[in-house]
Amino acid sequence: MENEEKNLFLLNLYFEEWKFRQENLWKRILQFFVVIFFVSTLPLTIGIFNGVKLPQISVIMFPIAGILLTLFFLWFCLAESIRINTIDGKIKRIMADHYPEEYVKNELVPLTKPYQKKEKTWAIFRWRMAIWVPVTLSAMEIVIAIAVIFIIIIGALPSI
């Protein structure tokens, strides 16, 4: 009985860690996206901030900083996704080791991996959302930053 209590304690501990990392990741994704968007587009959107003046640096530095922040954002999200996946795997191993095999086969696997039914699916449908959402948002942020750089280079930047 003591061993089972220890396993339940470990499962609870891992689940709390998994839940914290999930909540933290999704909060950070939204925060990073908004900050990177405003940094990248600041030369275009400065007009909505009444009376704010840009520092005396080249305006092209803002979208370049946005690209650098996007790379950091992507690194952070993918690293956090690996941590979440590791914890998830640990939880599943504990359950598989200490609970009846029929339960694991019939209940856990179909709920967590429905794509394993020999059906062909695109790779993106087998990725966790914690991977493809940051990758997609990063691609969008880079496209936005490149568009702002292009606008600055062709001289279509509105007067500040």
Predicted confidence at residue 77, as pLDDT, reads 94
Predicted confidence at residue 123, as pLDDT, reads 67
Q: Return the residue matching tokens 């279509």.
A: 156
Nearest Cα residue to 151 out of 73, 72, 42, 67: 42
Query: How many Cα atoms within 13 Å fall on the side-chain side of residue 95?
Result: 18
Residue 119 lies in a domain: no
Predicted confidence at residue 66, as pLDDT, reads 96
Residue 49 lies in a domain: no
Residue 48 lies in a domain: no
Residue 121 lies in a domain: no
Query: Do the Cβ atoms of 109 and 116 come closer than 8 Å?
Result: yes
Predicted confidence at residue 54, as pLDDT, reads 73
**Low-confidence residues in the chain, pLDDT < 50:** 110-112, 114-115
Displacement of CA 86 from its chain's centroid (Å) = 16
Residue 47 lies in a domain: no
Owning domain of residue 76: 1-40+57-107+128-154
Nearest Cα residue to 57 out of 68, 74, 42: 42
pTM, entire model:
0.77
End-to-end CA distance of the chain: 71
Predicted confidence at residue 28, as pLDDT, reads 94
Predicted confidence at residue 44, as pLDDT, reads 85
Residue 140 lies in a domain: yes
Nearest Cα residue to 109 out of 97, 91, 92, 130: 92
When divided into structural domains, the chain yields a total of 1
Predicted confidence at residue 112, as pLDDT, reads 47
Predicted confidence at residue 143, as pLDDT, reads 97
